[in-house]
Every structure is written in structure tokens, then in C-alpha cells.
């Protein structure tokens, strides 16, 4: 098989020479295992954190070893009960074309007319992040005003649409006019271009004149600051990610931190796997919204295994609308 390995740890923005495409020998397939040919690879911002040699909620990638990540593939050989040749599965042996895997941790995709790559997007990890972050972590309710950053991305576009389906008022922010139009087309009540001239605090106050009850943070930095500035008393923040800082070499300064105290704001960090035990509930309820046509899924697709690092790196310059994917 062919797999991408990490040859060196990025310093700041990742670069092409941090990655190398290499041949890897597949282990023999034993009982309880399947051989999978990947058809879709996911690239996700959290992978950047695993490229640093620091302690976090997942161990760092090892230098010289194949990278890992979400992928959808087709079973081409099976020695595991319940998995047949031709089944489509979601698993974590991405960044490569083929893998031999024990089936623990492999999820079978139910046969339906839903495109299989959706299980890497709104019906997969990013969708589940949006669902539980909004509804369980922030405890957002109908009638409340929700602000979400990176609203044109995989998680953010799900947050916008789940919030609208649940009767909330939604303000989304994204970079550039085209993405603002996309966020509006997903149903947001207002969308902010954080890259246009002017202060983000002022733009957010204009978009949510009564303030915000919930902030779904994908970006951190200036976005978090603007959310603090506009938060109503008792606002809840779901701290999902802080992509603005993933490649930063200098610390970010926040001006409005003291508002956490004055406005009794509750910030709660979470990792999607905290909700693994409720994955069935998510599949059922999000699946129903998808079937009812209430969730539109944008995708940005790069073609070929060779393009994986390029797709990954483009996440940090806003090169994606909706879910960033590699199609093999």
C-alpha cells in the first residue's frame, strides 16, 4: 500500500516537505480483520495538533510512521463476522490507499442513497461535534441567539443548520464574500465576513444587537474576544477548537476576558469522543434531519492520494467550503 508519513514536525504553517508518500507492507489478514480499499480520506484541523510533539488528548504522530485519520473505504477481503466484501466502512486508517484492520473501531455504513463520504462530514465526526457541542455542551435552546465561527466549514455549517432546525437565531462568521453567501444560504439569520475591514466586535454587535446567548467556538483569538464582548449574562460557550492559533508562533491577546466574570459566562471545552456513548442518538436524529432535507452538505474535494497534504494544508487558509475531502 501507499501511505503518507510525517517526515518532520511543522514549525508554524505545515509545508509539503513535512510529508512523504511511502510504500508500506500490509500485515497478513487474520480472523476478525478486514482489508479495505479507501475511497475517501478526511483531512481535519485537529491533525495539526498531532503533528506537534506535545501532550494532548490524542498522542502525537510519530515521525516516519504513516499518518492516521478518518477514511471511508470498501471492504475487499474479510475474515470478520458481519463484514462482507463490498461493504462501505468508516475507520481511522486514512492518509493511505489500503489497510488491513481489526474490526474493533470500524463502523459499517448502512446501505442507503446517502453518499458514503457524508459519514466523514455531517453524518460523521464533524457533524457529531456540531450536534453535541451545540445541544449538550452549550445547551442551546429554541429562541436563543447562537454565534458560530468558521461557519462555512464542516463543523460550522452543521452548527448553523442544526441551530436553525431547532428554532434558534444564528449568526455565522466566515472569511470572504462567497463564504458569507454560503452561510446565509444555509439559513443563518446573519453572516459576518471577518476578513473585511472593520472591527469584528462591531460587526458582531450589529448582527446580534441583543447580544448572544451561545458561542460555538471553532476559531479562538479575535473571534472568542468578540463573542466575549457581545455575550449576554449567563451565556454559554462551547469551546470546540481554536484554529486561529494552530500554526501561530506568538500568543494571542484577549481584551474581553474579564467579561467571563462580569457576565457569568460559562466556557466548557469538549472533545467529540466524550459523546461516543450517544453516537446512536446522533445518527438517528441527524440522519432524520438529513433525510428531511434540512441539512445541506457542501464539500471541497481534492483528487488522488497525492493531493492529501495539499488538502490538509489548505484548511488553514480557508481553501474549503464545507467538508474538506480527498477522493481516491
Residue closer to ligand NDP by CB (options 213, 244) is 244
As a whole number of angstroms, the distance between CA 55 and CA 244 comes to 20
Min separation Cβ 162 and ligand NDP, Å:
13
The answer to the question of residue 241 lying near ligand NDP (CB under 6 A) is: yes
Min separation Cβ 75 and ligand NDP, Å:
26
The answer to the question of residue 60 lying near ligand NDP (CB under 6 A) is: no
- Give every CB contact of residue 164 below 8 A, 6+ residues apart in sequence: 170, 186, 187, 188, 294
Instruction: Pick one of 38, 68, 78, 129: the residue that binds ligand NDP (CB under 6 A).
Output: 129
Cα 141 to chain center, whole Å?
22
The answer to the question of residue 126 lying near ligand NDP (CB under 6 A) is: yes
The answer to the question of residue 156 lying near ligand NDP (CB under 6 A) is: yes
The answer to the question of residue 134 lying near ligand NDP (CB under 6 A) is: no
Instruction: Pick one of 213, 244, 298, 299: the residue that binds ligand NDP (CB under 6 A).
Output: 244
The answer to the question of residue 238 lying near ligand NDP (CB under 6 A) is: no
Burial 172-209 (b: 16+ CB within 10 A, else e): bbbbeeebbebbbebebbbbbbbeeeeebbebbbebbe
Cα 203 to chain center, whole Å?
25
* Contact criterion met (CB below 8 Å) for 159 and 146: yes
* Contact criterion met (CB below 8 Å) for 16 and 108: no
| Nearest CA among 115, 166, 146 for reference residue 323 | 115
Strand order across the beta sheet in which 231-239 lies: 190-193, 169-174, 145-148, 212-217, 231-239, 266-269
Binding mask 184-203 for ligand NDP (x = CB under 6 A): --------------------
Min separation Cβ 262 and ligand NDP, Å:
26
The answer to the question of residue 271 lying near ligand NDP (CB under 6 A) is: yes
As a whole number of angstroms, the distance between CA 262 and CA 229 comes to 11
Per DSSP, the three-state class of 233 is strand
Q: Which stretch binds ligand NDP (CB under 6 A): 4-12, 84-92, 265-273, 287-295?
A: 265-273
> Segment 65-94, which members bind ligand NDP (CB under 6 A)?
none
Q: Which stretch binds ligand NDP (CB under 6 A): 96-104, 110-118, 148-156, 302-310?
A: 148-156
* Contact criterion met (CB below 8 Å) for 93 and 37: no
Q: What is the CA radius of gyration of the chain?
A: 20
Residue closer to ligand NDP by CB (options 83, 147) is 147
Applying CB under 6 A, the residues found at the interface with ligand NDP are 44-46, 126, 129, 150, 152-156, 174-175, 179, 218-219, 240-241, 243-244, 270-272, 315-316, 318, 320, 324
Amino acid at each position: 500500500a501507499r501511505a503518507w508519513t510525517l517526515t518532520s514536525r511543522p514549525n508554524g504553517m505545515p509545508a509539503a516537505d513535512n510529508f512523504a508518500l511511502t510504500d508500506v507492507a500490509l500485515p497478513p489478514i487474520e480472523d476478525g480483520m478486514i482489508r479495505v480499499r479507501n475511497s475517501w480520506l478526511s483531512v481535519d484541523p485537529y491533525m495539526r495538533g498531532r503533528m506537534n510533539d506535545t501532550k494532548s488528548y490524542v498522542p502525537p504522530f510519530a515521525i516516519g510512521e504513516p499518518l492516521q485519520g478518518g477514511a471511508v473505504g470498501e471492504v475487499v477481503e474479510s475474515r470478520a463476522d458481519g463484514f462482507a466484501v463490498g461493504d462501505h466502512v468508516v475507520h481511522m486508517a486514512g492518509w493511505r490507499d489500503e489497510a488491513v484492520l481489526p474490526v474493533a473501531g470500524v463502523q459499517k455504513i448502512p446501505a442507503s442513497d446517502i453518499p458514503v463520504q457524508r459519514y466523514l462530514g455531517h453524518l460523521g465526526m464533524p457533524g457529531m461535534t456540531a450536534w453535541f457541542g451545540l445541544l449538550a455542551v452549550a445547551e442551546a435552546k429554541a429562541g436563543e441567539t447562537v454565534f458560530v465561527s468558521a461557519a462555512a466549514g464542516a463543523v460550522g455549517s452543521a452548527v448553523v443548520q442544526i441551530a436553525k432546525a431547532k428554532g434558534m437565531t444564528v449568526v455565522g462568521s466566515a472569511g470572504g464574500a462567497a463564504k458569507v453567501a454560503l452561510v446565509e444560504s444555509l439559513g443563518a439569520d446573519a453572516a459576518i465576513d471577518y476578513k473585511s475591514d472593520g472591527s469584528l466586535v462591531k460587526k458582531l454587535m450589529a448582527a446580534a444587537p441583543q447580544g448572544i446567548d451561545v458561542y460555538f467556538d471553532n476559531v479562538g483569538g479575535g473571534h472568542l474576544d468578540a463573542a466575549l464582548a457581545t455575550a449576554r449574562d449567563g451565556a454559554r460557550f462551547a469551546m470546540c477548537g481554536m484554529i486561529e492559533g494552530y500554526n501561530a508562533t506568538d500568543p494571542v491577546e484577549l481584551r474581553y476576558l474579564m467579561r467571563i466574570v462580569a457576565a457569568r459566562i460559562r466556557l466548557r471545552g469538549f472533545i467529540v469522543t466524550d459523546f461516543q456513548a450517544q453516537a446512536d442518538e446522533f445518527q438517528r436524529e441527524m440522519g432524520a434531519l438529513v433525510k428531511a432535507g434540512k441539512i445541506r452538505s457542501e464539500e471541497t474535494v481534492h483528487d488522488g492520494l497525492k493531493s492529501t497534504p495539499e488538502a490538509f494544508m489548505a484548511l488553514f487558509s480557508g481553501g474549503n467550503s464545507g467538508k474538506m475531502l480527498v477522493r481516491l
